[in-house]
Structure 1
Amino acid sequence: MAASTATRPADLTVDAAALIADIERYLADQAPRTAHPLVTKTTAELVAEALAGPVGDEQAAPALTAPSRLWRIIPDWALALTPARRFHGAGRAITVTQHLELTALVLQQYGWHRGGLRSRGGARCIVGAQAVLYRLGYGDEETAVAAGKRLQNVLRRRGIDEPFHAWNDRRQRDLGDVLGLIREAASDR
């Protein structure tokens, strides 16, 4: 594994930066701030409006791109060593809701997996997606534990007593079920 990582470091750098940029964009959207109390639009809306062309020009939302195969299959501990992680600092505090929504983002980008933390191709289960966030420095152990409790509470309300990681691994489960659980837990306050 070390030899293949050493032969293509450019892929790692670009993909790490892209995933972190997607996470940062999501987090920026979560904290709208206005330039002045009398202004009803957020600063981001004002900037976007100023940069937009004439009325009627439509700008497509940036597409999320899946990380390359190399980026998905490197060991999770190596995520903490990525140049993009070093650029953004040692860590960033996020809320439990943000952690859950970002967990869904990771599953959508990396792919979903059952039967283990990750597949050989790099797809992740719920806990594996949480590990990606933790290794990249988004949130801490307490945030991940609190997110797990929210997931467990949603399952309990549905009458399911098994742990969410075991629920993830059931044969009848699919990505839609998993994302539904995560999003319901994210909206649970």
Structure 2
Amino acid sequence: MNETRAPRTPRTATPSAAPTRTPRPTAQPAPAPLPVPAAPDWPSRWHLLIPTSLRNTAANLGLWQNPTPLKPSDHLAQTLAVLERYGWCRSLDFSPTGRMCIRGAQTLLEHTGHVTPAARQRAVDYMQHTLRMDGVAMPFHAWNDLPTRTFPQVSHLLTASATAARNHGE
């Protein structure tokens, strides 16, 4: 029995029965960085002479416009912006040439209403935590005044602290 067999045709499945390939997940693009709050202009003489309580009363009456206080992460970013704009120094909160240390920049922002005392203290807590994670057990203002300190190190401290505060929702 010699039967000749017909050549076989390849079997194909209908498109609906074919297994679907799922594309591999691609890496999500990094979220756009949050805008850095701009460093405020140096306050006018009137702003420096008017007590905070009087400015707040005038703001409540609509005669004065106070800035919106920032949360700790934005305050730390704005502190860095102030130091980049006016200059950074050691040993003095405010130098005769207008430069500031970290604490001086925070004082400027608090005095002009860009941060509340409570938010400033939270920002200080984040800086202290960042320093402790790096093995430093001294206050941030003493760390700032060390003779070997450089501005890139200060910038790193403020950026890392702001990131930690942002990660905690502050």
For 1:110, give the aligned amino acid: Y
Deviation at 1:149, TM superposition (A): 0.5
Match of 1:130 among 106, 110, 118: 106
Q: Are residue 95 (structure 1) and residue 71 (structure 2) matched?
A: yes
Deviation at 1:135, TM superposition (A): 1.5
Q: Which residue of 1 aligns with 2:9?
A: none
Q: Which residue of 1 aligns with 2:27?
A: none
> TM (normalized to structure 1)?
0.56
Q: Which residue of 1 aligns with 2:96?
A: 120
Which has the larger share of helix?
Answer: 1
Structure 1, gaps ≥5 residues long: 1-24, 28-63
Q: Deviations over 1:28-61 (max 9, x none)?
A: xxxxxxxxxxxxxxxxxxxxxxxxxxxxxxxxxx
Q: Are residue 140 (structure 1) and residue 116 (structure 2) matched?
A: yes
CA distance in 2, matches of 1:66, 1:150: 22
- 3-state SS in 2 of match to 1:148: helix
CA distance in 2, matches of 1:167, 1:133: 21
Structure 2, gaps ≥5 residues long: 1-34, 52-58
Who wins on radius of gyration, i.e. which is larger? Answer: 2
Question: Identity across aligned pairs (percent)?
Answer: 30
CA distance in 1, matches of 2:97, 2:119: 27
Q: Deviations over 1:70-102 (max 9, x none)?
A: x59x88x72868xxxx88723422111000000
> TM (normalized to structure 2)?
0.62
Q: Which residue of 1 aligns with 2:82?
A: 106
CA RMSD of aligned residues (A): 2.9
CA distance in 2, matches of 1:65, 1:92: 14
Runs of 4+ in 1 over 2 A off after TM superposition: 64-67
Q: Are residue 166 (structure 1) and residue 136 (structure 2) matched?
A: no
For 1:102, give the aligned amino acid: Q
Match of 1:78 among 48, 51, 71: 48
CA distance in 2, matches of 1:88, 1:113: 32
For 1:153, give the aligned amino acid: H
The answer (yes or no) to whether the contact 1:79–1:136 under 8 Å persists in 2 is no
